[in-house]
Amino acid sequence: MSKKKTTRREVLGKLLVGGAAFSVLPCEEKVAVGETPPQANSDQKSSDVDAISAPTRKDTNWAKFSDLKQKIPTVKICGLEISRLTFGGGPWLGWSHDRDMAFVSNLLAVYHTKEKRFATLKMAEACGITAILVNPRGCPIVKEYWEKQSGAIQAITYCYGDTPEQLIERIEYSIKHEVSACLIQGLAADRLMKQGDTKTVLRCLDLIHKNDLPAGICAHNISTFKACIEKGIVPDFWMKTFHHHNYWSFAPGLPEHDNVFCPDPEETIAFMQDRPEPWIAFKVLAGGAISPRDGFRWAFENGADVINVGMLDFEIVDDVNICTSILNSNLKRKRRWIEA
């Protein structure tokens, strides 16, 4: 009996239902243990057009789980075992910094089916990553992952609100979903401290502490942290955007367009130098504009205790290998490491 030929429409249907090319694999777990998408045919003529052609990246030789050199080391922060590289939940929830490519967030949202999200967290845990920093909207997905996949990754939420009550509601929502720590999101903290609304900031920190959780403050501008210290507000840990400006799309002199996240890197380095509290740095790759080898090293050498990075499932092993290699090297670091 002849084998039935699969039509193009059937193939596309499978891709759309699965949400991504990886989903045509027999089992999503294959991605979680490191299988990569099929490689380009080396015999293919250079003039041919194929599905992975791109002007920037020339291959898809992503590292497999078997290529993992070592798990990411951890540090104790406020009693929590936190890996030096944590998982950023933005892309995982379908959010990205697109610059002018408005389709990217939609692509990420379609790619990250529930199964893909579970597999991604499973891969992260296998590589030693102990925490995901995520918007409260991601809490139900993480909780389902814990229950259905026996997951152990800790959830730390960054909470935003247009009003004080909305901010409090999202902190309460996070606590209800059994997060391990909670912080005031950067835009919210920047706005509140600029307005001089220390009452709301203290109210948020108090609510988190009353539930026996570590409380953090996040910021995009170092002036927010300075204002906190001036008012006697000291959280359990800080989270700050942190990247250099040596990349093409920084475009000095032009209006910002989803391309700059740390406007004050040198000022941040100087301020955080002698702060004794733990510091998690995020946006260390400037929304994908800086390479991991460059951005990771720069962040650690200039004082970050932990870095938070948004990663796709097939990037995790590569990023962990890069991170451990940097941590094992002779880092030119002045700020002391936070170890407890």
221: helix, strand or coil: coil
**Under 8 Å between Cβ of 258 and 289:** no
Given a contact cutoff of 8 angstroms between Cβ atoms, the answer to whether 309 and 300 are in contact is no
Question: What pLDDT does 149 receive?
Answer: 94
pLDDT at 60: 58
pLDDT confidence of residue 162:
94
Count, residues in the chain: 340
CATH class of the 68-247+256-327 domain in this structure: alpha beta
Biggest distance spanned by C-alpha atoms of the chain: 80
Residue 59 has a pLDDT of 56
Measured distance CA(320)–CA(315) in Å, rounded? 9
Of residues 41 and 172, more confidence is placed in: 172
Select from 167, 123, 148 the least CA-distant residue to 34.
123
CA distance 46 to 290: 29
Q: What is the pLDDT of residue 103?
A: 76
Helix (H, G, I), strand (E, B) or coil at 241: strand
pLDDT tens per residue across span 223-276: 999 999 999 999 999 999 999 998 888 877 767 776 777 889 999 999 999 999
Helix %, strand %, coil % of the chain (to 5): 40, 15, 45
Residue 49 CB coordination number (10 Å): 6
3-state secondary structure of 246: coil
Please count the other Cβ atoms lying within 10 Å of the Cβ belonging to residue 337.
Answer: 12
pLDDT bracket for residue 191 (50, 70, 90): very high
Question: What is the mean predicted confidence (pLDDT) over 142-163?
Answer: 96
Of 322, 327, 287, 319, nearest to 100 by C-alpha is: 287
Closest Cα partner for 302 from 247, 244, 256, 225?
244
- Looking at the chain, the number of H-run helices and the number of E-run strands are 13, 10
- Listed by start position, the domains of the chain span 68-247+256-327
The pLDDT tens digits for 79-138 are 999 999 999 999 898 877 766 677 788 888 899 999 999 999 999 999 999 999 999 999
